[in-house]
Amino acid sequence: MHRKNMKNLNKGGAVVFIDGGLGNQFFHYAFCVILYRYLKKPVYLDCTQYRFTTSLNARNLELVYFSPILPIITSKKELIQKLNISYCMFCLKKLGNKILYKLCKKQPFFLYDKQKTLTKPHLRFESIAQLAQNLGNHNYIYEEYMWNFKEIKSYKDEFLQILYPQLPLDSKSLAIAQQIQSHTNSCSIHIRRGDYLMHIPSDVLDMEYYLHAMEQIRQLVSNVKFFIFGNDFAYMRGQFSESRDCVIVDVNGEYEVRYDFLLMKMCKHHILANSTLSMWVGFGSYGYTIYKANAKPSTAGLETLGFIAL
């Protein structure tokens, strides 16, 4: 084989590290599917950092409820085999990190093969297509954040099938679903607080944004009913409990985000938070969708979906 073609050689496909909540999981999965289309080789999802037992952990792997078509790696042993690295060396590095973290709060050893690991590809490549063309002998993609709806929208129909799973709602969520379906103009409002309050400066959107967005929806449609979702129930009750056109949805915990996601998707219109989950709520919406312009995470590509920026 000519040397100029070596950069495209990656016989074993790729493994992609997955982290974060459900919104992040959707973005990672979208990246993996598109990469798979370009590579035409296996792409595996490294989900080894998640718990696989019922727990109240806010970072459970909820993607599995949406029937992903790509294979998921759930154990370190399987991951090590897939990456073809030494199990003994892996264990030694892991032990070294554990000891040094206790001594000086540092974990200096990277557990995998640095030469075959592509870290933060969003800082090096402008598109998934460009990454696929230059993957070379890298077989592990770590800290991937190539999240842009301009690229994802080409696969919109495929992803919409995943976002509407045949997932049965529990009784408490089913009661909310019936309320949503009883209103012609239902509008979800997503409020992200919780961990955002720990950021300095805070990433939390203020009430001025939400009140402005609600007024916009009221001017666009008649007899609107707002359904308030979020991860700070006390705040939601304090801000919206006296509004007659609002229903506060406080039936699902952080470990049941999939139910809130499906309920929000049932609404005709949407007012989004600055969160990845919110972006996927609006993806494929056929009603009015309002979002905060220039917020983090990046809103690049949302305008191409017909969203309204405030």
Average pLDDT over residues 41-58: 74
Residue 303 exposed, middle or buried by CB count within 10 Å (0-12, 13-18, 19+): middle
Compute the distance between CA of residue 306 and CA of residue 285 in angstroms, rounded to an integer: 9
Residue 8 has what pLDDT?
39
115 pLDDT band (50/70/90 cuts)? Answer: confident
Residues of the chain with CATH 3.40.50.2000: 169-309
| Tokens found for residue 133 | 């063309």
Listed range (11-25, 42-56, 218-232, 275-289) with the worst mean pLDDT? 42-56
- 4 pLDDT higher than 60: no
Compute the distance between CA of residue 290 and CA of residue 285 in angstroms, rounded to an integer: 11
Determine the angle formed by the axes of helices 156-163 and 22-39, rounding to 10 degrees.
140
pTM for the structure as a whole: 0.86
CA 94 vs CA 110, 132, 150: distances in Å: 9, 30, 39
Compute the distance between CA of residue 172 and CA of residue 251 in angstroms, rounded to an integer: 6
Tens of pLDDT, residues 163-212:
777 678 889 999 999 999 999 999 999 998 765 545 544 567 889 999 99
Listed range (7-11, 66-70, 135-139, 296-300) with the worst mean pLDDT? 7-11
Determine contact, residues 25/55, Cβ cutoff 8 Å.
no
Determine contact, residues 243/206, Cβ cutoff 8 Å.
no
- 69 pLDDT higher than 80: yes
Compute the distance between CA of residue 24 and CA of residue 7 in angstroms, rounded to an integer: 29
Residue 93 has what pLDDT?
67
Compute the distance between CA of residue 310 and CA of residue 307 in angstroms, rounded to an integer: 10
310 pLDDT band (50/70/90 cuts)? Answer: confident
| Tokens found for residue 131 | 């990454």
| Tokens found for residue 137 | 């002998």
| Tokens found for residue 230 | 């979020």
Nearest to 131 by CA among 114, 149, 145, 110: 145
- 129 pLDDT higher than 80: yes
Residue 44 exposed, middle or buried by CB count within 10 Å (0-12, 13-18, 19+): buried
What one-character-per-residue DSSP string does 210-226 give? HHHHHHHHHHHSSSEEE
Cβ neighbours of residue 265 closer than 8 Å, sequence gap 6 or more: 163, 164, 281
- 231 pLDDT higher than 80: yes
Compute the distance between CA of residue 293 and CA of residue 310 in angstroms, rounded to an integer: 6
What fold is seen in the domain 169-309? Rossmann fold (3.40.50)
| Residue 187 backbone dihedrals phi, psi, to 5 degrees | -140, 120
Nearest to 308 by CA among 220, 231, 240: 220
Q: Specify the length of the chain in residues.
A: 310
Tens of pLDDT, residues 241-267:
888 899 999 998 888 899 999 999 999
Compute the distance between CA of residue 28 and CA of residue 110 in angstroms, rounded to an integer: 21
